[in-house]
Amino acid sequence: MNPSVKIFSGTGSQELAQKIAKRFGAPLGKINIQKFSDGEFQPVFLESIRGDYVFLVQSTFAPTDNLMELLLMIDAAKRASAYKIVAVIPYFGFARQDRKDKPRVAIGAKLVAKLIEAAGADRVVTMDLHAAQIQGFFDIPVDHLDSSAIFIPYIEKLKLKNLTFAAPDVGSTNRVREIANYFNAEMVICDKHRKRANEIASMVVIGDVEGKDIVLIDDICDTAGTLTKAAGLLKEKGAKSVRALCTHPILSGKAYETIENSVLEEMVVCDTIPMEKSSDKIKVLSVADLFAIAIRNAYENKSITSLFIHSQLRERERANK
């Protein structure tokens, strides 16, 4: 007898989890996050999960309560005798702390990976890690989904005549190059120098953007400083239009105001992190379908590789031969 699939959500991803469960074709499981007066909380499953294939949906954006909540849900599921426990983490927090880039600092991404393992997760499903090598911090399987499966159809619908892709910094070059290759389009790079965290001292554009419709691609939009500065510089260099596609909308500080006052035509983001407020310039695309497919494939022991852009490129190359 095959184990049943049960999908649960923490408080940080309830709306997305509802969509994922609906796309999967199962009701969202019942769980209560009991809050205590001292600020502590305790997840309580309100239905039996003994022998079930359990998927726990929770993005680990700030505050760290979201991470702690996920760890407690994993532990509770393990103690409730779940057959398998999969941590579905649309946005993996602390991913920017992926290396020791200065003395006497922690490698937060590695620590979080070990905490998730220690809590009892059997597998992790996530999307657009800030650094792909974070997958190697885990000793359990990691399914690393690619937002290009969401963004490519959107870009195709725009039907931009002079399409050129831009990397807002050197770190996003590989991500942008893959999508540019898919469209057989040109790519430019905005090379930045930071004065300090979240503050850019200078930026230059490498490549020709005169008369081009530019699409900036990045994984995280935090304060929106990098993206909007890059957009302004691209317009100064003669770009016809500039829009940005960004997977994870952290949007901290004055990000909403910064985007509203920028030269961006639009900012397109995914619903991996719930939006605090709406904006005429910000469009949200859902990742629910992609995660629902990933959950089904994981449950049925099917490949998830077909959801990745490099797989799509190989299929297209075979078809053209």
**pLDDT (tens digit per residue) in 250-291:** 999 999 999 999 999 999 999 999 999 999 999 999 999 999
Q: Tell me which H or E stretch contains 127.
A: strand 123-127
pLDDT at residue 312 above 60? no
At the topology level, CATH places domain 5-145+288-303 in: Rossmann fold (3.40.50)
Distance between CA atoms of residues 159 and 176, nearest Å: 18
Q: How would you class 128 by CB atoms within 10 Å of its CB: exposed for 0-12, middle for 13-18, buried for 19 or more?
A: buried
Q: What is the structure's pLDDT at 200?
A: 52
- 148-285: same fold as 5-145+288-303? yes
Please say whether the beta carbons of 70 and 116 come within 8 A: yes
Residues annotated as catalytic are 192
Four-way CATH pick for 148-285: 3.40.50.150, 3.40.50.1100, 3.40.50.1970, 3.40.50.2020: 3.40.50.2020
Alpha carbon of residue 31 to chain centroid? 24
Six-digit token string for 9? 């959500």
Name the 3-class secondary structure at 265: coil
Distance between CA atoms of residues 149 and 263, nearest Å: 26
Best CA proximity match to 35, nearest among 81, 72, 60: 72
Q: What is the structure's pLDDT at 311?
A: 55
Q: Tell me which H or E stretch contains 243.
A: strand 241-249
Q: What is the structure's pLDDT at 172?
A: 87
Q: What is the pLDDT of residues 93-147, one digit of tens each?
A: 999 999 998 899 999 999 999 999 999 999 999 999 999 899 999 999 999 999 9
Domain ranges of the chain: 5-145+288-303, 148-285
Q: What is the structure's pLDDT at 288?
A: 97
Q: What is the structure's pLDDT at 18?
A: 98
